[in-house]
């Protein structure tokens, strides 16, 4: 569908809102990434995987679950896990119930590095999120983003 003559769809509030979401995410991710790299020598993508594994009920996830959680392709996730495994932060394990499936589990070194990174992350969030939004604004933002994060087909 093309724009009507004389209208400027780039100024539509939905386009502006989406642009703000993208810009905010990109800026915060870039700044946090730089902070994690400088302080912990831990790339943001590694941090995201380690955090997902820490939050998993038994400290491990299937490769596809990791890819879904961090919104990466399966091929990109495999390469990412290869690098994390080389750094001794995760290990691959055979799934006890499905011989074809591989689990990825966080190691003791991965947990240690994640603890260091979480201290940096929390400091960043205090400065750039909690320090700029009040408690009710954070609750509202959490509610709205949670609502937007549910797939539309549900």
Please tell me the pTM assigned to this model. 0.82
pLDDT value of position 151: 81
Percent of the chain residues past pLDDT 70, beyond the cut: 94
How many CB atoms sit inside 10 A of residue 48's CB?
17
pLDDT value of position 7: 65
pLDDT tens digits, 46-98 = 999 999 999 998 889 988 889 888 877 777 888 999 999 999 999 999 887 88
Domain residue spans of the chain: 22-148
Residue 142 has pLDDT above 70, yes or no: yes
Closest CA to 117 of 125, 149, 71: 125
Ramachandran bin of 6, using left for φ above 0, alpha for ψ from -120 to 50, beta for the remaining angles: left
Pairing of strands 102-106, 60-62: antiparallel
Q: In the numeric block, which tokens belong to residue 80?
A: 């990412």
User: Domain 22-148, what architecture?
Assistant: Orthogonal Bundle (1.10)
Average per-residue pLDDT for the chain: 89
Partners of 93 in the β-ladder: 103
């Amino acid at each position: 569908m093309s724009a009507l003559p004389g209208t400027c769809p780039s100024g539509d509030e939905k386009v502006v809102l989406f642009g703000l979401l993208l810009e905010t995410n990109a800026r915060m991710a870039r700044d946090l990434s730089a902070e994690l790299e400088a302080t912990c020598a831990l790339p943001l993508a590694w941090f995201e995987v380690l955090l997902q594994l820490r939050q998993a009920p038994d400290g491990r996830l299937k490769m596809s679950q990791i890819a879904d959680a961090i919104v990466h392709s399966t091929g990109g996730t495999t390469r990412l896990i290869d690098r994390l495994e080389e750094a001794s932060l995760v290990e691959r394990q055979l799934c006890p119930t499905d011989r074809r499936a591989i689990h990825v589990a966080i190691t003791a070194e991965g947990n240690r590095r994640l603890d260091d990174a979480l201290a940096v992350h929390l400091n960043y969030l205090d400065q750039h999120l909690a320090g700029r939004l009040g408690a009710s604004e954070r609750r509202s933002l959490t509610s709205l983003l949670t609502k937007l994060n549910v797939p539309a087909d549900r």
